[in-house]
Structure 1
Amino acid sequence: MAGLDLVTEDILEYASVEEITTIVPNDLFYNTPNSRTLFYKRSTCSFPNSNLLNIPNKDVLLTGPFYFYPHIGEVPSGFPTTTTSPDLYLTRISDVTCAPGQLAMLLPKNSEDRAPKIIGTSLSDEYSRGSVSINKIDDVKFSLKISISNPEYVKGTYLYFDCMHGDHFGHFIVDILSMFWAIDFARDLGFSDLKIAISQNLSPYFKDALACWGVPPDSVYQIERPVIFENVLFATRSFFTQGYTTEVACNIWKKVRDYYNLNTGPSAIYISRSGVNSRKLKNEIEVEEIFRQKGFEVIHPENLTFPEQVNLWANAETVAGPAGSNLYGLAFQLNLKSSFIICPPDFVHVQELMLQSGYSSNTFFYFGDYSDGSIHGSWSVDIPNMEHYINRWLQEHTVYAPNKFSTKISSVRIESMGGFANKMIQFMVGNRISASVPRCRLVHDALLEWGITSSEFDGAISKSVRFGPGRHRLDIVGITSCLNRGMIDTVVVDSYAQHFDNFPDVATARRLFVTPSALDHVRGFGADRLVISIRGGEILDGRHPDYILLPPSFYEGLIEQTGLKPVFFGQIEDNAYCLALRARFPRAEFVAGQGVMHDFAVLRRSCHIVPSISTFSWLAAWLSEAESVHLPVAGLFNPRQARAHFLLPLDDPRYRFHLFPLAYAVDVAKYPHHFATMQRALDGTARLVSAERLRAIIEAAPQVKRRIDAYLAFYDDAFYSESQGDIGAAVRDGLLPSALHHYLEHGFREERPCFKLDPFHYATRYPLAAAEVAQGEYLDFEHHYVEIGHRRGYTAAP
């Protein structure tokens, strides 16, 4: 070790805050470096009693610090009912070296000083289990797993909310959100220009939680390499997993709940883990069906945004589900009367009770069979036995009654649109809605290829809701709630509904579309082949601007990266694009399709798939059991371009995402020169990005803020009036003083175009602009042009 440089295996000494700081009153804290000040005194907190519905034959193991309860026999109630917290301090330390992976240290000034110290309060627990940065040697020593060299000095004061498991929803709630009390407290003490420091990606739920405290995303500093912060504030957690809870934590949960509560939602919900691989309840699909038949809405929380989840919990009165972080929403309850928690007897958490401190709901535990022995092992339940206890629970311990739901027969009616895959997606979404509502009929056309006959329903329609073909993300949770409560009786799915939030989990979708036995002989391509789907037909004439043909160079790069043998499969025809592919890959296999069901089965049964820009190949790949899916994030699949669509399975480990600049389709035969220009513009532009990075690009606000004055410099009154037909008519009829008046009041906010811009021209002529918009620097081409494009000499149209 020399100076500030540390290398792997260097030793860090554990330093408690008591060793390196002094206690000061609140009013002196702002001006006192290396100090700590008290926010909340040590206290005892109670939480609801547990009720055990069945007792296993063998011991029940409570996980976490409560090891002094080795089995149920020694604790009549089964669980503790109180915990005692430590004092909660806000600690201020200067010149703190931070590195990715939840590592905060005090480095020596030179090699003669004592060993560097790791700041104890920065760790999730003092053993730092699973850390990517350090190894624990003994109670006071750690060794580095990484090197620290020439850290950058960053001025300012930062609240340290880093957590090595911060990307995990459950850990975010208990390990990070539980420290949010420090935001208001630090502000009250004078830290007005406060920033947040983390090393994990800024997840959507982290961003949504910060919004409750009025903290914008640009106030978050991501630690990507070692840095030295001028001042760091560390907050004691107000909730410690399996350890303690506090009134402070309860107030945090309530603040988030009240911020996102819409006062609407189903009263009985089952929170499923069937879409999660760890601690899997093997027969959960059967469990879901039992609760569904009893009027519960089955929820897959991983498919919902954080605000949607909080709103669900705030309005639920009866909740059931397997134990785990999927039930951490218990913290956000408001009207909850009773919960039914299912768990294996050898992995029983206490935090489901601790999260309910301050509430009066009843909690019931049903124990299934023992797991396979590993901490995240699979387990199961005895379905008939569990249903007996569910019935008893509902009858004796809940306010559940059938009249909480509408007894009128309702319906979900699908107005079929588009081709083969579009109709499958509509059916999948309609089925998800109807399956969540008791006494609801699904009305649809036949999908005979899948053995699905048409369904009709003559019930009267008095109150219905439609979406329209341009709206793709449907509010599934809100719509099913309204159906359940009789607010409406009919949902008309007249949308393509091509948004991943609408879809059921992939296992449910696969059960809807089981390949017919007549195709049992059809085989996919094996593990040594890279199956490249080719779409032809009407795509070649450019009628769908977002259905683009990808350049051969993209496939060339994938073949080189994977080392697999290419197979070009699908609509292999005698056209300029296929001829170019044959010329570029003379040794590749080219296999023409044999019809939609045959081709769908081939893709679905292949090991490594590259979808074309089409819903057909996308859906086949998603429903497949493929080992890898290389998805081009281009055209229809790029939410920065097709902004109403969202077809990115970001949480599916099979997927590799290849981000392209924005690009638009062109008629290959009619405009060969334009097509060649577009293909050249895309050459070498695909960039492999992680799901986390792609999520951040998509969900972040544009890096350059939209300014109305920039748009007004190019505002074209004639264009705006003509292109927005409703506006021109309103001006002519005297309902609006002018088109500009509408743009100022509504059009800018609604992101309506106010001048003519040809996207194909802009994307192909200026590939840098196409890349900058795709990467989230600008909202769209109009935004790019008014802010930077015109200054570069770009033209908006040919």
Structure 2
Amino acid sequence: MADVEMHILGSQPKIRSARKVRKTIPHLYIHELADIIYADGILYSPRAKCALIDSFRSFGEALTPRLYYGPDTRLRSLGRGFYVPENVLPATEVTVGANQVFMPCFTSYPVYGHWLLEALTSLWAHAHVQHLAGNVPVRLLLSPMANVPDYMKLFAEPFGITDYDFYYPSRRMRLERIFIPTKSYMHMAYVSEIAKKMWQHVVNYYLPDATMDPVEKIYLSRRHIKTRRHENQEEVESFFEQQGFTVIESQNLSLANQICLFAHASRIVGPVGSAAHNVVFSQNPQQLKTLFFGPEDYTSFGAMAVIEQAYGRKAYFVQGSVRTGERRSWHVPLQEVQMAYEQWTAE
């Protein structure tokens, strides 16, 4: 893989390299493990006395990964992806025997974009695990959450996975058998051909149900999203409407209609967020041209750049201000957006 480039447009155009990018995509395989403890979103091996590297991760303000069993129990890194609890491991509440086989379906954050990219693409292994397990039901182990969003079930449906296959875990339990697949998509690192095929399968399944007509140019609005708020989004939206873009709020559309819009659009612009990741549904990926903008300290520019490269496109961005306040709001000057748009259209 060549270096992944992020083309920053505007008054000070520059090219940056995305961090954490793998130079090769690993072979995909499945680990079968026995006697694993699940505790608050972490998978832990009592035998190896360490947490498993495919466990749930969160990121602090310094953007350094930290793993945890709960609000007070942290893990200490041993290096090379291995971690041990700093305090005593919480007692398990229940043991699940070999009559049920588990497979994790985790993501860094339980939100639409991360689930589409990280969790959905882990389902490549589901049919293989079911074959290995024989007649034993394979349950998809989710991150702990109060309510499971409908989109998680909708994304799994094309692969023959029903609500029964999801396992909503108690806070702590001991599992006799679990299968952990390697990732066909790794956040900010690589996109495999298997991941692309899975996204395409979702398109093939839902596109016939779309009720909207395709549009050529779409703008992704975050006007009603409360977190990471784009402060001057109204004037930016107005500018792009004047350029012939259709403003959409994808969270208000059915999955079939979202897929329809992203499948056929030739130009997509807007602030980076979950909706932007729908570019993986494009049916003309090499002809698609995108321009995304977000706060200066937003690390997921790198994630979009990796996706863009995987589909043979250049990754164009506009950087705004650093995020401020509890909801991490930010702004990008309209003049900067206009300048970047002129550069983008001239490419």
Q: What TM-score results when the alignment is normalised by the length of structure 1? A: 0.37
Find 2:283's aligned residue among 309, 316, 334.
334
Q: Deviations over 1:673-701 (max 9, x none)?
A: xxxxxxxxxxxxxxxxxxxxxxxxxxxxx
Seq. identity, % = 21
Three-state SS of the structure 2 residue aligned to 1:252 is helix
Q: Indicate if the aligned counterparts of 2:9 and 2:316 stay in contact, CA closer than 8 A.
A: yes
In structure 2, the residue matched to 1:94 is 34
Find 2:332's aligned residue among 374, 377, 381.
381
In structure 1, the residue matched to 2:9 is 53
Which deviates the most, 327-336 or 352-361?
352-361
In structure 1, the residue matched to 2:308 is 356
Q: Indicate if the aligned counterparts of 2:56 and 2:67 stay in contact, CA closer than 8 A.
A: no
The separation in 2 between residues aligned to 1:102 and 1:328, in whole angstroms, is 24
In structure 1, the residue matched to 2:113 is 170
Residue type of the alignment partner of 1:330 = V
Q: Indicate if the aligned counterparts of 1:56 and 1:345 stay in contact, CA closer than 8 A.
A: no
The separation in 2 between residues aligned to 1:86 and 1:307, in whole angstroms, is 32
The separation in 2 between residues aligned to 1:356 and 1:258, in whole angstroms, is 21
The separation in 1 between residues aligned to 2:182 and 2:28, in whole angstroms, is 5
Shift in Å, 1:274: 2.3
Shift in Å, 1:188: 5.2
In structure 2, the residue matched to 1:303 is 252
Shift in Å, 1:156: 1.7
In structure 1, the residue matched to 2:16 is 78
Three-state SS of the structure 2 residue aligned to 1:159 is strand
Shift in Å, 1:150: 4.2
1:29-178 aligned at under 5 Å gives the runs 44=1, 50-54=6-10, 56=12, 77-80=15-18, 83-99=23-39, 101-107=40-46, 116-124=49-57, 129=66, 131=68, 133=70, 134-139=73-78, 140-143=83-86, 147-154=90-97, 155-163=99-107, 165-166=109-110, 168-178=111-121
In structure 2, the residue matched to 1:259 is 205
Residue type of the alignment partner of 2:295 = P
Q: Deviations over 1:601-643 (max 9, x none)?
A: xxxxxxxxxxxxxxxxxxxxxxxxxxxxxxxxxxxxxxxxxxx
- The structure-2 alpha-carbon separation of the partners of 1:136 and 1:191, relative to structure 1 and needing over 3 Å to count, comes to same
Residue type of the alignment partner of 2:51 = I
Q: Indicate if the aligned counterparts of 2:105 and 2:119 stay in contact, CA closer than 8 A.
A: yes
In structure 2, the residue matched to 1:273 is 222
Q: Indicate if the aligned counterparts of 1:97 and 1:151 stay in contact, CA closer than 8 A.
A: no
The separation in 2 between residues aligned to 1:79 and 1:183, in whole angstroms, is 34
Q: Indicate if the aligned counterparts of 1:283 and 1:380 stay in contact, CA closer than 8 A.
A: yes
The separation in 1 between residues aligned to 2:309 and 2:198, in whole angstroms, is 12
Shift in Å, 1:91: 0.8
- The structure-2 alpha-carbon separation of the partners of 1:355 and 1:208, relative to structure 1 and needing over 3 Å to count, comes to same
Q: Deviations over 1:31-65 (max 9, x none)?
A: xxxxxxxxxxxxx4x587543322549xxxxxxxx
In structure 2, the residue matched to 1:365 is 317
The separation in 1 between residues aligned to 2:6 and 2:65, in whole angstroms, is 31
The separation in 2 between residues aligned to 1:340 and 1:174, in whole angstroms, is 19
Three-state SS of the structure 1 residue aligned to 2:185 is coil
Residue type of the alignment partner of 2:7 = N
Q: Indicate if the aligned counterparts of 1:279 and 1:378 stay in contact, CA closer than 8 A.
A: yes
Residue type of the alignment partner of 2:75 = K
Residue type of the alignment partner of 2:181 = A
Three-state SS of the structure 2 residue aligned to 1:330 is helix
- The structure-2 alpha-carbon separation of the partners of 1:283 and 1:329, relative to structure 1 and needing over 3 Å to count, comes to same
In structure 2, the residue matched to 1:245 is 191
Shift in Å, 1:374: 7.1
Q: Indicate if the aligned counterparts of 1:96 and 1:229 stay in contact, CA closer than 8 A.
A: yes
In structure 2, the residue matched to 1:232 is 178
- The structure-2 alpha-carbon separation of the partners of 1:141 and 1:350, relative to structure 1 and needing over 3 Å to count, comes to same
Residue type of the alignment partner of 1:296 = F
Flag the structure with more relative contact order, 1 or 2, with Cα contacts below 8 A and sequence separation at least 6. 2
The separation in 1 between residues aligned to 2:91 and 2:328, in whole angstroms, is 37
Shift in Å, 1:386: 2.1
Q: Indicate if the aligned counterparts of 1:47 and 1:82 stay in contact, CA closer than 8 A.
A: no
The separation in 2 between residues aligned to 1:390 and 1:357, in whole angstroms, is 20
The separation in 2 between residues aligned to 1:393 and 1:356, in whole angstroms, is 15
The separation in 2 between residues aligned to 1:90 and 1:298, in whole angstroms, is 42
Q: What TM-score results when the alignment is normalised by the length of structure 2? A: 0.80
Shift in Å, 1:184: 3.1
Residue type of the alignment partner of 1:236 = T
Q: Deviations over 1:287-332 (max 9, x none)?
A: 1111122221111222234333223211211100112333111222
RMSD: 3.1
Residue type of the alignment partner of 1:363 = A
**Structure 2 regions of 5+ residues with no counterpart?**
none
Q: Indicate if the aligned counterparts of 2:105 and 2:140 stay in contact, CA closer than 8 A.
A: yes
The separation in 2 between residues aligned to 1:277 and 1:146, in whole angstroms, is 36
The separation in 1 between residues aligned to 2:334 and 2:228, in whole angstroms, is 18
The separation in 1 between residues aligned to 2:259 and 2:271, in whole angstroms, is 18
Q: Deviations over 1:732-754 (max 9, x none)?
A: xxxxxxxxxxxxxxxxxxxxxxx
The separation in 2 between residues aligned to 1:307 and 1:372, in whole angstroms, is 33
- The structure-2 alpha-carbon separation of the partners of 1:221 and 1:274, relative to structure 1 and needing over 3 Å to count, comes to same
Q: Indicate if the aligned counterparts of 1:48 and 1:361 stay in contact, CA closer than 8 A.
A: no
Q: Deviations over 1:732-780 (max 9, x none)?
A: xxxxxxxxxxxxxxxxxxxxxxxxxxxxxxxxxxxxxxxxxxxxxxxxx
Q: Does 1:217 align with 2:163?
A: yes
Three-state SS of the structure 1 residue aligned to 2:177 is strand
Which deviates the most, 212-221 or 339-348?
339-348
The separation in 1 between residues aligned to 2:295 and 2:16, in whole angstroms, is 14
Residue type of the alignment partner of 1:315 = H
Residue type of the alignment partner of 1:328 = H
**Number of matched pairs:** 325
Three-state SS of the structure 2 residue aligned to 1:365 is strand
**Structure 1 regions of 5+ residues with no counterpart?**
1-43, 58-71, 109-114, 398-798
Shift in Å, 1:353: 2.0
Q: Indicate if the aligned counterparts of 1:47 and 1:353 stay in contact, CA closer than 8 A.
A: no
In structure 2, the residue matched to 1:390 is 341
In structure 2, the residue matched to 1:195 is 139
The separation in 2 between residues aligned to 1:106 and 1:351, in whole angstroms, is 30
